[in-house]
Chains A and B, each alone.
Chain A
Amino acid sequence: MVLKRELYQALEDVVGPENISEAPVILGSYAQRGRPRFEAVTLPKTTEEVQAIVRLCNRFGVQFKASSSGWGAYGDAGGPGVVKLDLRRMNRILEINEKNMYVVVEPYVIYAQLQAELMKRGLNCNITGAGSNCSALPLAAHQGIGHLSVSGSYGERNQLALEWVTPEGEIVRAGSLGSIGQWWCGDGPGPSLRGIIRGNVMPLGGLGVYTKAAQKIYHWPGPATFPIEGVSPHYRPNQIPPGFMIHYISFPSPEKLSKAAQKVGEAEIGFILMGFNPGMISANIATNNNEDLAYIKQFTDSVQGPGFLIIMAGNSPRDTEYKEKALQQIIDEYGGEPLEAVEEPKNAGGFMWRFIRVTSSIREVARASGIFAGEVGGTDVFPLMHQYIMRSAPVKQRYIDEGKLLADGTDPFVQSVEHGHAGHAELLIRFNKQDPGSLKVAGEIAQFANKTAIEGHFGVPGHAWGDAAHDQYGPHTLNYHKWLRKIKKTFDPNAASESTNYITADN
């Protein structure tokens, strides 16, 4: 369909002729190959412009969808008749409140930008595991779980007050912003709406547009800028800042790994704690795919079993000493062994910085073949998430043996959130996306993960979005899908906010 000229003109009046297009060359780049294209792409600059676009879409009976950095395919159109809001021009860090330790950003601030500005002030932020190339809005980038979540929590918990343009075009200011115009609290005084706005895995563009949000930030014990030298892709720091330590520890069994990770949480010594397998460690250091394969073999041959990557950051010499001793005690108690290649002076600093800045996720998930998939555990009690992923992970080996997946190891990664208060787990697979057999396998693994989650009562995982997934999980989980539909219908009576990856009101 082509937008009515009256609507296009009205949209153009809102954003200006430079910031709207319906040219095929523009629309094509906003759609994955073979997927539906938007009818027009707009580039709003302000909340008021977003509101005006949303209201026009409601008035003219077309849908809209917004996205920020736009990596995830859930930012795409699900079908015809959708107007895109590319929030790229909304790119300001509005406030860094050092005293109260929060920051307010617009959607197109990316984590790398935010972290760089925070470090200069002795502060830091959680970064989604997908990478620091993603939006720093705590409501974007899926759940916002990341490498730093052991010490820096994640999106849902860090989110404070926010500004939301509802699917009908009302501007809602939630939390303390709604009552006293301040950003420091997400839940009052004033409306919270946290559960409605976020759900389990975010509405993924299906419930209006989030235009500004505050989030909690954390103490950074390191230098204002990490001392990185070299030329891309061979970056590494000229020294490791005082108090920073990195280790990869493997364990004799998944059970011992799980217990050791919980102990690290209890001792509160982890700055980063990720249960990466050797394949993910290798992708981090390898600067190309050939190196990656060599490192996978080297690291896999060098570990005794599943392991975790830990970075510690001491706040003082005594704190550093305590953390080192505590970790050694945990290693001794659970039979851990270090992967020496990670600790070698020529490697350690580079590993450390890539994990802190979260720059290597693209290498880990996309360099092999341009695509990744897998199953995603939810965010729940650490041992529960560990059990869930361990129960379903072995299926990967069968597909590796059949030549359907890259042989990059079968250990899933499990991570600790808030020093073990919660946990998160994922099993990643990499495969040739041109191979229909491998694509089928990806679907089968997802279904196996769903079956495991439902039969094992592991809760609703983070990969559950869209009508089909909610309809599958809902009946086993207090019929939450019916409530989710009511939320959708109540806040979006005209079904204007495109919901392919959220839930539709109709089913």
Chain B
Amino acid sequence: MALEDYRTDMEMCCRCSICKFVPLEKLTEKRHSYVCPSIARYNFHTYSGGGRTSMGLALLDEELEYDEKLLEVVYNCQMCGACDMSCKYAMDIEVLEPINEIRIKCVEGGHTVPALDGIISSLRNQATMVPGAKAKRGDWAAGLDVKDITKQQAGVIYHAGCRVCYDQDLRQVATNTIELLKKAGIDVGIAGENEICCGGRAYQMGYKEDFLNQAKKYMEIIRKSGAKTLVTGCADCYHAFKVPYDKFGLKGDLEVMHATEYLARLIEEGKLKPTKKVDIKVTYHDPCHLGRLGEPYIHWEGNPVPGHIRIFDPPKEFRRGTYGVYEPPRDVLKSIPGLKLVEMDRVKEYAWCCGAGGGVRESNPDFAKWTARERISEAESTGADAIVTACSGCEQNFKETIDECGSSLKVYDVVELLARAI
């Protein structure tokens, strides 16, 4: 697929602006009624989902130059998919896909920004999205006594992800997950030093070829391991394995599960029993890539049916965020004795993004933190002691922003709290 393939989708935009707001049926507070960080921060219509589709058409028709302002608009978007979900409440059109294709077109034409080029350089040279990473990738697992899937067979492969491997503050999530899986008797292994980046963020930044190279390499590692199930604690990686890997026919029959899904299943089956009290009031932040973007990819090939209503042969089922992973993380939290879960105004398919995605944290950290501050403020308004998430990217961005803005809110991963209860 290319941008041209989404021409009719983009032409369908009627500029109604619902891409800027939470689904109107669910709007209960003016204060938290916006859903797209980009238009909320920059205000010009161009920064919205509708504005971006308009830009896509103009690019297709060569009406725009790839100037500095255009690139600023293109890359100041977290690719969180909120616009796509809100639009598809009412419309049968793709929004996020063409936005991603605009980025791919930019990259293919050499129209990029230095910050993202730097990350991709790291990916090409060191197989990680963390430039200048000093530590060894497998250090986080030291002393864990876990199988190395490059040497031993395992039923389940745990993928830690770039951020977790190279950020000391985030490693606890990975070690906790391995400990819990082992406690439940799961035959789990890791790639350790041989783990590589999934490539997911490269795809969302527009570097499609780099993503494909990375994905092919990764699937080769998995094929050799014999693992049937991949578990990851990072929502970004989860989305990569679940959606674009499938989109490009690379996933095969690999079962992809987020750690919270897998742990919720183990709790349900009685293989893990949270018994220790964790007295804390928390609110849960749905990571975009686990929630609305985490639903399975739907393969479809067909043609529009001529006429006055946009239908296809065979019928096309749109991904609308309906079947994202929303309940398992909540189920895990609710299983913890003493923990009280309170919800924010914007949850599940219309959760406000943490701000880190789509390369924004690297290319425009101020915007990433601006977006996180909005979410932190929303979390504080619930009276919670902590904001809990299920993505290392969200956790990292929240922690850094809280350090700067002086909030007393704590940040945890779901797995960390579960580990305390077991």
Contact = CB atoms under 8 A, between A and B. Distances in A.
| Chains A and B bind each other | yes
Contacts of B348: 231
Interface string A88-102: 110001000000000
A21 B44 CA distance: 9
A232 B73 contact: no
A161 B304 CA distance: 50
Contacts of A357: 24-25, 27
State the 3 A-B residue pairs at the shortest beta-carbon distance, nearest first.
A23-B69, A406-B308, A370-B12
Interface string B42-68: 011110001100110110000111010
B308 A431 contact: yes
Given A25-B64, A41-B44, A109-B30, A131 B321 contact: no
Nearest to B42: A18
Interface string A420-439: 00000000001110110010
Interface residues of A, number: 63
Contacts of B33: 110, 112-113, 116
Interface stretch (B14-22, B132-140, B146-154, B208-216): B14-22
A288 B318 CA distance: 9
B166 interface: no
B85 A232 contact: yes
Given A133-B17, A289-B309, A431-B308, A24 B24 contact: no
A168 interface: no
Contacts of B323: 231
A114 B30 CA distance: 7
Categorize the interface residue count of chain B. Answer: 35 or more
A360 B90 contact: yes
Given A354-B25, A368-B309, 13 more contacts: A24-B70, A25-B70, A29-B55, A33-B11, A231-B349, A288-B318, A290-B315, A359-B90, A360-B90, A362-B14, A369-B309, A370-B13, A370-B14
Interface of A: 19, 21, 23-26, 28-30, 32-33, 41, 43, 69-71, 86, 88-89, 93, 109-110, 112-114, 116-117, 131-133, 225, 228, 231-235, 288-290, 292-293, 353-354, 357, 359-360, 362-363, 366-371, 405-406, 430-432, 434-435, 438
A89 B43 contact: yes
A362 B14 CA distance: 9
Contacts, number: 180
Given A116-B30, A369-B12, A233 B17 contact: no
B92 interface: yes
Nearest to B291: A231
A25 B51 CA distance: 9
Interface string B70-87: 100100000000000110
Contact of A430 (B43, B70, B308, B349): B308
B364 to A, nearest CB: 14
B322 to A, nearest CB: 5
Contact of A362 (B11, B67, B90, B311): B90
Given A231-B322, A406-B309, A25 B67 contact: yes
B89 interface: yes
A69 to B, nearest CB: 5
